Structures are given as C-alpha cells and as structure tokens.
Structure 1
Amino acid sequence: MKHRIRYIMIGGFLGAGKTTTLGQLAARYTGRGLRVGIVTNDQAADLVDTNTLRSQGFDVGEVAGACFCCNFDELMGTIESLAADERPDVILAEPVGSCTDLVATVIQPIKRLFNAEFEIAPYSVIIKPSHGRKILSDGKSGFSPKAAYILKKQLEEADAILINRIDELSAEEADEIAAVVREHHPETPVLRISARTGEGLDALEELLAQQGDFGRRILDIDYDTYAEGEAELGWLNSSLTVTAEAKFPLDDLLLGIVKRLQERLAESDAEAAHLKTIGLWEGFFGVANLISSDTAPELSLPSRRDVKDVDVIVNARVACDPAILQRLVEESVGDVCRSLGASATFRQTQSFRPGRPVPTHRFADAN
C-alpha cells in the first residue's frame, strides 16, 4: 500500500511571507531526508515565487491561470506530476494571496475524493504585522473594506494563525498584535514566527506534525463581496531581458525597480499589496520585494553578481487599474535601466483584474 502524502497548505494575504515560510519548511524537511514537492499558485504565468523556489533547488510545480479552488483538477494533476519519479512524503502548497474559502473548496475535496492518498496537516494562515495593526483594528489599511474582507475570511477558516516578521517587532509590539488576533479568533492557536530568521519554526513544525481532523472550518462567505474585493486588485506578471555593454550590479537593478515602482505608486495614491522581482543569470539569482506601501523595499535574496544581460520577472499586486499598473511598471523599469546604462526588452506582460472565483468543488459541510 502506498504511503499517504502529508498535504501542508500555508495561506495568507499578499505579502504575508508564504513563499519564504515554505522555503524554510522545505529545507527543514529535506534536511531530515523527507521527499518534498512544492506547488505554487497564481492567476497568471511567470511567477517570481516559482522561480525563487526552483532556484533554491526544490521540486516545484505551478498552477497558473486560476486559484487552486477554481483549478482543482490541475492542482491534483500537478501533485501527480511531482510524484511521477518518486512519491513525495510532503506536499507544500501555496495558494494565491487573494484567495479564501480554501477549506470548503480545496481541503474538503482532497479529504473526500483523495483520502486514501493524502493526510491533511493543520491549515495555517500567515498574517503580517501591518495587517494586524490596520485591518483587524479597523484602521486605514490602504485597501477597501471588500479587499480587507478577504483577509479576515482567510483568518476565520484557519486551524492556526501565524504572526510573521516578529524579528522586526519589539516584545510589546508582538504582544499587542497577538492580542488583537486573539480578540477576533479566541479559539484559534496563534504562533509567532520569522520566516526570514527561522525563529518560531520549530513550534510551527510541531504544529504541522499534529494528527487530527483538520480543515473543518467552513466559511459563511458572500461570494459577491469576495469577488469584488479581488477585482479591486490590479495584477501584473512581466518577463523581460535587460542588457548593457558594461557590467552592472544585478542587485542594484532589482532593488532599484522595486524602489522606483514604490515611488511611482505613491504618486498615484495606489496601495501596493506586494511587489516582487527576480533576476536569473547563469545559475545565479537575486530577489527584491516590497510587502506594503509603508515599508521599505528589501533585497531578500542578494545575488552579489555583476552582469551584462539578465532575465527578469516582475510581479505586482496593487490596488489600482491594471493599465495604469502596467504603465508604471514599464516606466519604472526604464528609469532604473537608464541609470545603470542598460535597456530592457519586455517579452511578455499579463496585466488584469482577477475574475470571479468559480470553485470546481465546494462542500458546505465538514467531512
């Protein structure tokens, strides 16, 4: 009899730190000799997260074009392809950051249709401190109430809530955010982690190893509000090539693009949910990102390389019109390239608003 694969899905709003957390978990599991497959998810192709995890040496499949819930068959097909050579012990799944209702549309279908093949780990949802302060405290978040509704519903269906980026907080600040989360979700376990430093990940591993009947919190959800909240986000994935006659620092290019785009978005009063860019060159890579409009861009994975040509992917999730977002991205890339004596050729750009979610399956009661 084949062993059952441990299915671990980590949810959370855009910019919460899902990819970094999955990368940390994958490294820990593989370090213990477990076979790990990762499935990423996006509304479009050319996903920075997929390329980042693959560049770290992990076996990654991507479900593109729709969220897991609306493309359930492809999710299962992608997992099957990861198991084609050697059946994994663990599947780590990262859903789209603007997606919710995942218990009813992903976890319950797996439990009912594929129970012999999978065992379900506690469904954990990550929240970043700025959202804990603003959205849960009903302060000004930069997002509309309908977009904030999605984040609140994500937390409501979680088996555990993970407060990320605690390395950036004082003990008092962490306690304050934890208190706000517990006020809204008094029966849900709350863990504090830093996906960047690894703090708290021992406790997270212990949580994810628990045996039990998880994924039972079926949402009472208004799909009209959910769809309208998603549709307020402009979504852009671009792939391009940057070339120059003289070498330039790849990290300056990546961080410069994110910084310049943050400035242009601020001028347009557009709230950034997440900006990411990755540069890929001859086996080396670098990543820069921005997790909100009021934080500083960061070089999350430096390449420390000088290059003459490089492939670049830009992902942007911003509360603004997609056409405006595309123009600002192209102008920002052009500004930074000129400052480095380089030029950019855009190969492909997808810029749009997500359509209404139509799940493949939805079970309104818990199995």
Structure 2
Amino acid sequence: MTTSTPKIRFVMIGGFLGAGKTTTIGRLAKTYQDQGLKVGVVTNDQAADLVDTNLLRSQGLQVGEVAGACFCCNFNELTSTVEKLAADERPDVVIAEPVGSCTDLVATVIQPLLRLFDAQFDVAPYGVILKPSHGLRILRKENNTGFSPKAAYIFEKQLEEADFLIVNRIDELSAEQVDELVTLIKEFAPETPILRQSAKTGEGFEALVDMLDQRGAFGQKILELDYDVYAEGEAELGWLNSSMRVTAEKPFVLDEVLLGIVERLRTELATANAETAHLKTIGLWDGAYGVANLVSSDTAAIMSLESNCQTQEAEIVVNARVAIDPQTLQTLVEKVVQDVAGEQGLKVEFRQTQSFRPGRPVPTHRFAKPQA
C-alpha cells in the first residue's frame, strides 16, 4: 500500500510596501516551527539584493527568493522555488511574501495554484495587511495621500481581493486610530473579516494563526482591474536595491550607521517632496544583524531590529521604494551613504546597485472566473 505525499500548506500574506509583511512572516514562521512544522519562505522583488531575504535567513529560516518580477509575472519561478526548498527538506508550510506594489494576486497566483497545482498545495485564506500610515490617508479620501490616485488605486485593490484584512502596528497606534481604521475598512469592504495585531509584539497573533488554519471557499475574489492604471501606479515609484561593504580601522556602532542612513534619506526625500512607500536597510556581520526603516514621509525613521553590534566591517543592503525618479533616488542614496560613512570614518565599497521603475505587469496566468 502506498501513501500519497501530504500537500504543502501555501500561505501568502500581502499588503502595501511597508505594511509589516516581513515581520509578520518571521513571527508566523516561528509560530509554525514551535508547533513542530517545517517551514519554508519565498520572498519576492523586482530586483535582487532584498533586505527581507537577508533578514529572514538571518533568523535561521529556509528562504528562496523570486527576483526580477512579481509572483504573478514569474509564476513558474515561484513554483520552482518551492520545489527547490522541498528538495532540501520538504516543508509542511510555505509562506510567500509578494511584492508590496502588486495586486490581482487571487487571479494570477491563488487561482493558478488551486487549478494547476491542487495535488501539491493546500492553499490558505489570503490575508492582506493594511498599512496604517498611508491607509488612513487613502481611506479617508484625503487630497494629499502622498501618492497619485493611480498608486492609491493599487492600495485599494489589494484590500478588495483579500479573504481577510489585518490592521497591523496596533502597538504604534492609539485605540482611537485603530477604531477609525477598522470603521474605514468596514465601509470599504463590509463583508471582509478584520483582524488587529502587532507583528512586533505578538499581540493579536493567535487570531491570525487561527484564520490561516481555516478551510473553505477562499481565494475567490477576482478583481475587475484596469491594468493601464495599475501599471502607471506602479511606475510612479522609483525602485532601488543596493548592496555594499563598509570597513573601518576601529570598531563602529552598526546600528548608528544604519539609522543614520535612513534618517538622512528621510530628510533628503522630504526636501525633494518625494513620498516614501518604504525605505529599509540591513547590516550584517558575524551572526549579528540590524534593520532600520522608514514607512512613510510622516513617520519617524526607526531601528526596527537592533544588532547591538560594534564591528570594523559589515555588509549593508539598502532597499528604497519612493515616488521619485529612480536615477535621482540612486544619486541621493549614494550621496547619503558616503556622507554617513565619512562622518563615521568608514570606507564604502558599493557591490551592486539597481534603480528603475517597475515595468507593466504581464501575468503568466490569469483566471477571470473563480474556481474553488
């Protein structure tokens, strides 16, 4: 008698740039591991050198990366990356983190998995994390959201296709702000369940795990989507990934360098009147790692993860998604890095920098009608 290979539980957590997907996925992976499950993670970006990949690997997770296009436009790479993870040690659960400027993921990722890979994958409900800073502005219909209506269109479509929505960062919000967000979401998507959580502290996390354990007719909300508006909304963002090595003759505080880069960029971008969707940098050396980030123009630059490391060398990766010309963004990043390095007595060796605007999405598959 033969036994069939158990399906891999496929969990995808979406949300706009800076919503807190990586922190959520890291905590979720640890939760599953504590349950005795083997976990794989697949990150996704328009280019290589992704902070999220480095961060999750630094946490000891098995991580594959789909780079060069979003999951929808590189669907075959998504499935082959999962196969590579399974070839090493077959995971019970794979958690996928899509590009934060992508939408239409039900029609182009979930439905293809349900129809074409039903024997391999058991697909969980699709959750989307709402980003409070831009979410409040967009859902309030404010005149100045920081982005054009075309970029706000992507944000709204992400919420529209979700099986459930997550208000994250509740540790950073007042009770009144959380209540306002929930009220606005209910007005926008009245039939969609809403969770409240802090991925950073773990508050409300049990509800997320319970929701993802649900079975039923999920992944059915196929969007009516104007791909011209979608493409133009994505293309207004300048995209930069840059990797570098910094060295010094005497030890320096890694966290000061990371936060210094992000804080200086915050100031420069504000002067240029350029809205930040997400800006983050990771520093790694000898088992230590720290992360600094900025999620919008009206929030502070913070150390989201402290390395508490003093070292004479480190590898640093900067990821920036900003409403600005990508070449201007690259010039700013390189100038700021050199300025901070000069103040700290560091030598910088840039390894690789990619700056561009995302191209028009061309999905590998797209199903116009749902099938359970």
For the superposition of Structure 1 and Structure 2, which TM-score range results when normalised by the shorter chain? over 0.9
Does residue 267 of structure 1 match 2:271? yes
| Alpha-carbon distance between aligned partners in 1 of 2:310 and 2:177, rounded to the nearest angstrom | 39
Displacement after TM superposition at 1:343 (Å): 2.0
Partner of 2:302: 298
Does residue 39 of structure 1 match 2:42? yes
Q: Which consecutive unaligned segments of at least 5 residues does structure 2 have? A: none
Displacement after TM superposition at 1:86 (Å): 2.3
Determine which of 13, 38, 59 is the counterpart of 1:10.
13
| Alpha-carbon distance between aligned partners in 1 of 2:231 and 2:176, rounded to the nearest angstrom | 36
Once the two structures are superposed, residues 273-295 of structure 1 have per-residue CA deviations (whole angstroms, 9 ceiling, x without a partner) of 00010111112111111111111
Determine which of 243, 248, 257 is the counterpart of 1:244.
248
Q: Which stretch has the larger CA shift, 162-171 or 6-15?
A: 162-171
Does residue 123 of structure 1 match 2:126? yes
Once the two structures are superposed, residues 34-89 of structure 1 have per-residue CA deviations (whole angstroms, 9 ceiling, x without a partner) of 01000000000000000000000000000000000000000000000010022211
| Alpha-carbon distance between aligned partners in 2 of 1:85 and 1:132, rounded to the nearest angstrom | 39
Structure 2 counterpart of 1:187, one-letter code: E
Q: Which stretch has the larger CA shift, 6-15 or 127-136?
A: 127-136
| Alpha-carbon distance between aligned partners in 2 of 1:195 and 1:242, rounded to the nearest angstrom | 31
| Alpha-carbon distance between aligned partners in 2 of 1:326 and 1:147, rounded to the nearest angstrom | 21
- 1:254 counterpart SS class: helix
| Alpha-carbon distance between aligned partners in 2 of 1:173 and 1:71, rounded to the nearest angstrom | 37
Q: Which consecutive unaligned segments of at least 5 residues does structure 1 have? A: none
Partner of 1:60: 63
- 1:203 counterpart SS class: helix
Displacement after TM superposition at 1:129 (Å): 1.4
- TM-score, normalised with respect to structure 1: 0.99
| Alpha-carbon distance between aligned partners in 1 of 2:22 and 2:270, rounded to the nearest angstrom | 26
Does residue 106 of structure 1 match 2:109? yes
**Number of aligned positions between the proteins:** 367
Taking only aligned residues, the RMSD between alpha carbons, in angstroms, comes to 0.7
Partner of 1:190: 194
- 2:361 counterpart SS class: coil
Partner of 2:91: 88
| Alpha-carbon distance between aligned partners in 2 of 1:132 and 1:342, rounded to the nearest angstrom | 38
| Partners of 1:132 and 1:180 within 8 A in 2 | no
1:1-367 matches, cutoff 5 A:
1-139=4-142, 140-367=144-371
Q: Percent identity?
A: 66
| Partners of 1:132 and 1:181 within 8 A in 2 | no
Structure 2 counterpart of 1:143, one-letter code: F
| Alpha-carbon distance between aligned partners in 2 of 1:248 and 1:103, rounded to the nearest angstrom | 46
